[in-house]
Structure 1
Amino acid sequence: MVYFCDQIKNTIAWSALTLSRKTLMPLNKLHVPCDLPVETCIQVNTLLHAALVQHFAVNPEDDFCIVMRYAREDMMLHPTFLGPRDPEASIIIDITLMAGRTDARKEAFYSELRYKLQKIGFPPDNAIVFLTENNPIDWSFSRGGSVKKVLAL
């Protein structure tokens, strides 16, 4: 347990020391239908993480993802809002990360992510993606308190 906490602290410290190149980790949540294969979820997270590293300078080691599965009747998604989609086969990609990316970087990220989804055979129109930005005070990984406090940001 202590080793794990030290490892997280070292990773966060590394991230803070290289903040100009790398930014602190995102937390990805994939909201998917129950019957979406595990392999597809892994592929989606892998390409999602690669796009975050490429466009948002995320530390390649900071890969945190939670897959949340829902019965189809519990995912009520509009079939045509801002573009067509198959509500029965759609997923929601929910990314929480530190604030600071430009609109241009976000647009490039969205384009790359949809391109990569297409490459693995997942229809990009069936992915709803949203970013929630916050600050170092909004994260805590240890008894030390917030990331802001632990890293003296």
Structure 2
Amino acid sequence: MPFNKLHVPQDLPAATCHAINDQLHESLVDTCGVNPDDFFCLVCRYQPEDMILHPTFLGTRDPAKTIIIEIALLAGRSDAQKEALFVDMRQRLDKIGVPSANSIMFLLENQPIDWSFSTEGSVKRVLGL
């Protein structure tokens, strides 16, 4: 159950944001066994002066054009799956014309008790996990 959050420059076209998330979802399905129906994303836009990050930490990037991909998902993926996700997603970004060197990705893992999609309660309760 990933929930993707894309932090992008204010002027990045909506179509590009959708393309990034489409590629991210496909990458999650291919590398991490995510259900194809688990498709959730929020685009958060920032002004260039609002991105404060070190421009050369573990790579060179332009803070005013950096995209940050935040992925919240259920715990349980192996380190190999996570590494595959990062490699695959960077390749996908480059293919759609978004410089992967100007991106930061991170995962936030949690449990079924940490999600709720209905009035029935947590995913753990609804699915009887």
Could you state the TM-score of these two structures normalised by the residue count of structure 2? 0.97
The offset of 1:67, in angstroms, is 0.2
Q: How do 1:81-100 residues align onto structure 2 when only pairs under 5 Å count?
A: 81-100=57-76
Q: Deviations over 1:26-64 (max 9, x none)?
A: 000001110111111011001000000001111112110
| Larger of the two Rg values belongs to structure | 1
Counterpart residue number, 2:37? 61
Counterpart residue number, 2:99? 123
Q: Determine the C-alpha separation between the residues in 2 that align with 1:67 and 1:90.
A: 14
Counterpart residue number, 1:9? none
The DSSP-based 3-state class of the residue aligned with 1:87 is coil
Counterpart residue number, 2:113? 137
Return 5+ residue gaps in structure 1 as ranges: 1-24
Q: How do 1:1-150 residues align onto structure 2 when only pairs under 5 Å count?
A: 25-150=1-126
The offset of 1:77, in angstroms, is 2.0
Counterpart residue number, 1:14? none
Moved over 3 A (4+): none
The DSSP-based 3-state class of the residue aligned with 1:60 is coil
The DSSP-based 3-state class of the residue aligned with 1:47 is helix
Q: Identity percentage over the alignment?
A: 61
> What one-letter code is carried by the residue in structure 1 that aligns with 2:26?
A
The offset of 1:144, in angstroms, is 1.0
Greater shift, 109-118 or 54-63, is seen at 54-63
The DSSP-based 3-state class of the residue aligned with 1:41 is helix
| Larger strand proportion of the pair | 2
The offset of 1:143, in angstroms, is 1.4
Q: Determine the C-alpha separation between the residues in 2 that align with 1:43 and 1:97.
A: 20
How many residue pairs were aligned? 129
Return 5+ residue gaps in structure 2 as ranges: none
Q: Determine the C-alpha separation between the residues in 2 that align with 1:144 and 1:76.
A: 40
Q: Determine the C-alpha separation between the residues in 1 that align with 2:17 and 2:42.
A: 10
